Structure 1
Amino acid sequence: MKGAEDMTGATNITKNDSLSPLLLCLACLGLLAWLFQPFAGKVVEFWTENPTYTHSPLIPFVIAYLIWDKRKTLAETEIVPSYRGGLPMLLISSLIWIVAVGGKSRFAVELTFVFLIISVVWLNFGSALTKKLSFPLFLLLMMVPIPTILYAAISRKLQLLSSTFGVAFIQLFSIPVHGEGNIIYLPETTLQVAEACSGISSLVSLFTLAMIYAYISQKGFLRRSLIVLSSFPIAVFMNWVRIAATGMIAHYWSLEYAQGFYHSFSG
């Protein structure tokens, strides 16, 4: 009887030890959510208004599915809180968060919030379990909008590239066309490759989708990397074709039809 009681006690201790980090982690994440509440509304508004980030609200559901799919592996992983790794990261992230909030830097606030989440998970669950959650946690970064300055610089480069290669594609069909910067001159109309037509929205969305698909469908690092990296030329090339097709429709039919085609093709 005494031996049975000892075994029962040991079992209860094991369960409690496993449950404590989970409850503590949930409490910390709840506190983070409360701290982020003043910024959440603006973030969601930005996602819904900017076509580049319309995929962002879906990412938490993808992360939840990926974690659920690994539930057996995670349950078998020993939980050893990481004070050497997780605690310093949490302290540093907290300091940066305070500075970012005081400086009213949207990007820094959102980026630091992600690192706060990662550090809380690392601190409470340890390195082994956090490593197995590395990709779902990394996906959180895909919800953080690109800094405005960097976004504008990339968009401008893509605008010029799209205009140049769009003109080259149109010339293949012996259509008189001339390009200057992001302006495409046709015999009877003029097209402007605006920032919204740069292809950056398709690039970000396809890159995110490629990462998720590669993680789910492939095992090797090389195969996953090839799928993810292929998203860049595919997205850029498709935008070139889209602009060229828009120019051809504008030349043979009308600018109104061309604009309708472009927006329909953009999804």
Structure 2
Amino acid sequence: MQRFDLRELWLPVAAMIGYALITWPVWQWLWFEWMSNEYYSHGLLIAPVALFLAIQRVRNDPQLRLRFANREGAGLLLLGATLALYLYALQQRAYYLAAFAMIGMLAGAVWTLAGAAALRRLAFPIGYLALMVPLPILDRITLPLALFTGYCSGALVQFLGLDVTITGNAVTLPNAELVIGAQCSGVNSLISLVALLTLVAYLLEGSVGARILLTALALPLALLGNILRVAALLFVARAWGAEAGFTFYHDYSGVLFFLAMVALTLPLTRALRFGSLRPEVI
């Protein structure tokens, strides 16, 4: 049986050190975004999860470990192209583009050092890193989502008998006037659910169609949870006033409704006929 030569490690180690040094400015930017951007506070967990999945994939696949001694020059094309894009984006201070480029650089490095077969086996851990990158487009969709949430929540509470008037994102109750702002758009729940359901779809045994469907369900689940949360907030504001709704209930209800949507993952995985954990991730 072919054995792995530890002397072959010097090039991967040198590549990792060089990669860390080159991409350090983007990691600093990502850290700042994770700490200050409520939409991407989950990004702090993505890289450790991806690293764990990659380690488990390598540990459980002896052939994959051996392939790290195989070099494929074709990977240099991807590595070179993404490195050029990274340097350009960094020079333009387009950090989110630089972050995507550095993920591409990682894929190119794996391809170069271990071959296309290894890259295919590590495609999910590498691709999963894309979910840690903050997107500037989010600022453009928060208001439309907030308006949609306000309309649906208002229609729901009206159906349930609450006296409420909705004009745009302004909500008028008999005892209070409220504004459905960006914080009620549900974008943070949507992004977190996408990351979570994508991970669940990878970890469990199941068909490709079931994996895609489970990930796609993040959008309706996030919207449903947010609409129910805002509707409940309107009932609280009607009963105890706007201050009670926005100073106490608003701050804690988001977590509760998010956990409720997460709890739906179990029956969803059963309905989609998912099995146990995949052997390569245990």
Query: Could you state the TM-score of these two structures normalised by the residue count of structure 1?
Result: 0.88
Matches within 5 A, 1:116-127: 116-127=105-116
Q: Is the 8 A contact 2:143 2:182 kept in 1?
A: yes
Counting matched residue pairs gives: 251
Query: What is the letter of the counterpart of residue 98 of structure 2?
Result: V
Question: 8 Å contact 1:162–1:239 — kept in the other structure?
Answer: yes
Deviations 1:90-125 (Å, cap 9, x if unpaired)?
111111112112211121111111111111111111
Task: Give me the whole-angstrom Cα distance separating, in 2, the residues matched to 1:47 and 1:210.
Answer: 20
Picking from 166, 187, 190, the partner of 2:153 is: 166
Tell me the SS of whatever aligns to 2:115. Answer: helix
Q: CA RMSD in A?
A: 1.8
1:245-260 equivalences under 5 Å are: 245-259=232-246, 260=248
Find the aligned partners of 2:55 and 2:76 in 1 and give their Cα distance: 26
Q: Structure 2, unaligned stretches of length 5 or more? A: 256-282
Question: Of 212, 230, 240, which aligns to 2:217?
Answer: 230
Q: Is structure 2 residue 260 aligned with structure 1 residue 264? A: no
1:145: Cα distance to partner?
0.7
Q: After superposition, give the CA deviation of every residue in 1:230-255 in whole Å (9 maximum; x if it has no partner).
A: 11101111000001110111011111
Instruction: Choose from 91, 99, 113 the match for 1:102.
Output: 91
Q: Deviations over 1:42-70 (max 9, x none)?
A: 32121011121111111222122212332
The equivalent of 2:17 in structure 1 is: 30
1:65 aligned residue: 52
Q: Summarize deviations over 1:118-138 as a string: whole Å, max 9, x none.
A: 111111111111101111111
**Aligned equivalents of 2:213, 2:25: Cα separation in 1:** 40
Task: Report the CA distance between 1:41 and its aligned residue.
Answer: 2.5
Q: Which has the larger radius of gyration?
A: 1
- The answer to whether the aligner puts 1:219 opposite 2:206 as a matched pair is yes
CA distance in 2, matches of 1:166, 1:125: 52
CA–CA distance in structure 2, aligned partners of residues 219 and 228 of structure 1 = 13
Q: CA deviation at 1:19?
A: 5.3
Which of 15, 27, 39 lines up with 1:40 in the alignment? Answer: 27
Partner residue in 2 for 1:83 = 73
CA contact (8 A) 1:29 1:120 kept: no
Q: How do residues 100-179 of structure 1 correspond to structure 2 at under 5 angstroms? A: 100-146=89-135, 148=136, 150-179=137-166
- Contact preservation (8 Å) 2:193, 2:222: yes
Distance 1:83 1:43 in 2: 31
Choose 252-261 or 74-83, whichever is displaced more. Answer: 74-83
Aligned with residue 93 of structure 1, among 79, 82, 96: 82
Q: How far apart are the structure 2 equivalents of 1:53 and 1:74?
A: 32
Offset at residue 75 of structure 1 (A): 2.2
Shift of 1:72: 4.3
Structure 1: stretches of 5+ with no match in the other structure: 1-9
Determine helix, strand or coil for the equivalent of 1:208: helix
- Give the Cα–Cα distance (whole angstroms) in 2 for the partners of residues 218 and 257 of structure 1: 45
Alignment of 1:188 onto 2:188: no
Q: Paired residue for 1:55?
A: 42
- Counting aligned pairs with the same residue, the percent is 24
Q: Give the match's secondary structure for 2:171.
A: strand
Give the letter for the 2:52 counterpart.
Y
Number of the residue aligned with 2:269: none
Alpha-carbon distance in 2 for matches of 1:39, 1:130: 23
CA contact (8 A) 1:218 1:224 kept: no
Q: Deviations over 1:186-240 (max 9, x none)?
A: 1221121111210000000011000111111233211111211111101111000
Match of 2:227 in 1: 240
Amino acid corresponding to residue 105 of structure 1 in structure 2: A
Alignment-mate amino acid for residue 201 of structure 2: A
Contact 1:188 1:251 (8 Å CA) reproduced:
yes
Measured against aligned partners, the alpha-carbon deviations of 1:143-194 in whole angstroms (never above 9, x if no partner) come to 1111x2x112221221111111011111012112121222211122112111
CA contact (8 A) 1:159 1:195 kept: yes
Structure 1 residue 83, shift from structure 2 partner: 1.5
